Chain A
Amino acid sequence: MSTSLSEQDFIQLNAYLDGELSGREREAFELRLANDAGLQHELQTLQVTVSLLGMAERVPVPRNFTLDPAVYGRPARRSGLSGLWPVLSTAGAALSTLLVCVGLVLSLTSKGALTAPAAAPMAEEVFSAQATQLEAPAAPPLEEPAEEATALEEAQEEAPMAMEAAPTEEAEAAAAEEEMAAEQALQAEMAEPGMPPTPEAAGGGGEPPVEEPATEEPAADVAEGEAVLSPTPTPTSLASLPPSPTIGADDAGSRAADEGRNGAEVGLAPPLPEIAGQRAVSDMTAQAAAQAAAVGTGARTPQYGAAPLPILLLVVGGVGLVVSLVGLIASRRRR
């Protein structure tokens, strides 16, 4: 017996003997075998050993190893619902997981919506502040349309969503006109206790304002804010709406149109002291509109009604998931 061969050589020798070498490996090994007498001897003894092992006689089985049908017999397992149980359990688990995910997403979304109640009252506060300031003496109304146009532009920039509701430029012009007329009427009312009317207002004519319901032709920006904040007009809100004046409406409207066209120039001009106050009011109006729009159309609606839905989905999904997993484990154990 030669012990000069390494383990790797012996492995290769066995593989050669068993025909497990590839063509190239076999050729290389045969070349080596032809020049190595020790390797030839090892191959010969290995062949004898394998041949001897092949002489091991097969032994007859002492008995049959068949299974007793009475003990191991079982009904066809794929009949009826029993075969579907794992499938149903898996489907239930998947559905429950989906419910949990939807619940989580809804709960995360409703977290954002839950901030809406804070924003909505803020918008209402802004509107009431605006209403309070409107009661104070205001700037000449002739400057109003331009300022409103500027405010609207700012609102457009700040809250594009708000302007989506404003249909056309015509509606904006009409709204600006309406707003301006309303403020004129308001100033006229304020002037009654003793405040002298502004020259522009006086120049516009001495006729008293005709009180018309503002709801007939609602101003776009105000109507938008109102539509978001109070969908159903209450008597209070109707009363708070300024009446549509007829005095100087044409004049103011034409000026508003002119100044609206030259809005950029007007916007760049230094504001008069009287206009500054009015600008503040207009800014606040625009901000309120923007905030109201930011609250979103419909964003307020699910804030209280939909809050339990994610929780309900989470609970139902969680329970379903647990039940399905228990079912799966039980069916596996039953097998």
Chain B
Amino acid sequence: MVLGDLFLWLCFTGAVFSAFLFLLSTKGDKSIYSWGKKAYYLTFLFSLLATLLLFYLFLTHNFQTSYVFGYSSTDLPFFYLISSFWAGQEGTFLLWLFTGLLLGLFLINKKGNELQSYLLFFYLTAQIFLLVLLLKKSPFELLPETPLEGRGLNPLLKDPWMVSHPPLIFIGYAALAIPFAYALAALIKDKYDNWIKFSLPWIGFSALSLGAGIFVGGFWAYKVLGWGGYWGWDPVENASLIPWLTTIALFHGIILERNKESLKKSNLFLALISFLLVLYGTFLTRSGILADFSVHSFADLGINQYLIFFMLLFTAFSLGLLLFRSSKLKGAETGKSILSQDFVILLGIIFISLSAVLILVGTSAPIITGILGKASNVSVPYYIRTHLPLAIVLGLLLSFTPFLPWKEISVKTLSKTIALPLVIAIIFSIIAWISGVRKLSYFLFFFFSFFLVISNFMIFFKRLKGNLLNTAGYLTHIGIGFMFIGILTSSGFSKSVKLNLPKDEPKEAFGYQLVFQGSESLSPQEDKHLLVQVKKGKDNFIARPRLYWSEYNQAMMRKPHIKRKLAEDLYFAPLEYNQKEFIFSEPFSLSKGEEKEIEGYKIKFLSFVMRPHEQGGEFRVAAVLEVGHQDQKATATPAIIFKEQNQITQIEAQLPDDNLIFLEKVMADQKMVVLSIAQRKNESGEILVLEVSIKPLINILWLGMIVIMAGLFLTTWRRSREAKTNTHPK
């Protein structure tokens, strides 16, 4: 057994043992509890060792470890070697486990709380679930022999934002096990006063980290993927959005419960379901079940039966327990008066939950319809059509809520306070109307977004004089308003045009003059940048979108160029680059170690690299060449992929000076290759097809996200202080 697997087994044993001790200590035996704590520390220690070991294997390029081979290579900078850790499934499970056990350290030393033993027992069962998956599909698995080089990191993931996105999401997932465990502990003990107080900061924390992860992911998609959007309603994205929404609903539910003693059952349900939805999302995206419906879905790792087993076990146990207790559980009635804070919050919870349900149904559509008959997917308009009215309703609620007290308020007092923001919102809406917003749904969307921002701003400033922490809610809601505005302007009012840009021929788009100047590589190894000069009055810059071949993905990749301006973004996405005007040299052969001079290149054949490629019968051979040109020296590795039925695909390599080299034939037994050089005939054939879009006010969207994060951060801070000081402020 390798060391890493040993750590995982020890961690597993520790977790089971510790969970068992915590279960025994539920009768109130303090010494057993402290033994459980010791076992927990050991468990954490082994997860730490396993995590450090995997980092170490990445940093030392231990390619015999299959996971390290699959996601990294020697040319990766330190930063991306670290993030290779969570480039694949096994690593993310380990990251999730480690974060979970780390967060648990903050739980085990709480004193004087009757839920403690059960809390830790249930919390550990969630970690045991991850450990089972890790033991089944270990990141420490070895290959039969050690490859010289790893497959490298997916170039899409070579981005600073992608370094932080997965950890943020998994911190959120890990933290959601805490309210889950608290709710179960409360249900088992049949005591419901403490769980809401103690789990509230964790709920804020989950909302913060999951939200940050979702936002970072969206920003990354916009910046890197080049389709011009930031949210595609893909199952992988939805899988994290759904539990985020239920967490937010839960947060508001608990605020209501603390103030009004209501929603007891709903809150327990939301706490349980948020975690169960994390499991379900994991199942959807990792089982391969949606493989035909998503660009992203992970391949099946053979852990499906475990995922399904745990999902059903957790669901049956937790919801069963809730059902068993529910007859006795009764909260106070809520929402007695329409013009009161609690009624509006209640509606908010309902609509946020509704949104979660709609997305859940949409994401599960292939499974639901598959059971009923033919597996079908729902397309993106489903999400947009249903969420436009939902967002309008939420905007309406958020506009009023700052002015509503917990007690009932009369229409007269309310109308006095609300008059000013209403008038300002109307003025802004008129401006929007003049600027061309004519569709009723868009207009309403804008109107309530303005209204909610202004309403919350007013109270935010009033409260700012007191304690900063008490402004958290208003701040978050202001952020929501900004985000709404930014979403609508940048998507609903985005303009885009596709242009054919022959080299050196000026074309117009949105008042800008565009000239395609050709491509440029900074070095032979570097990807090509396509240079487009963009001019409008004094505004003059060169856009550098990219189209490049990714060895890792075996695909042409695209990277947009974004010109950020205060009021709008100019988004340049390359669609097609036609440069196939080549003259091929006579094929020539080279045996291993031999050097020939062809078309001004000194080419020496060094070695073969062979490996089975992808699934079923494909095989790939590459020739490693040393190329001398003028004073430069470089390596080039053209390749052939042998497919089934004698089909082959040639993969060319770049030569210095922009020419290409192709591998024509491989004679492995004679250690010989046949190559040909393709020289560019003339530059006139070059054509770039470019999509130019304008994204108005997209900065408001990013601003909104940042403000939401700031608000959630303050919320988490405030609630954790309250939980510590045992205060119960209204």
Same complex: no
Interface residues of A (CB under 8 A from B): none
Interface residues of B (CB under 8 A from A): none
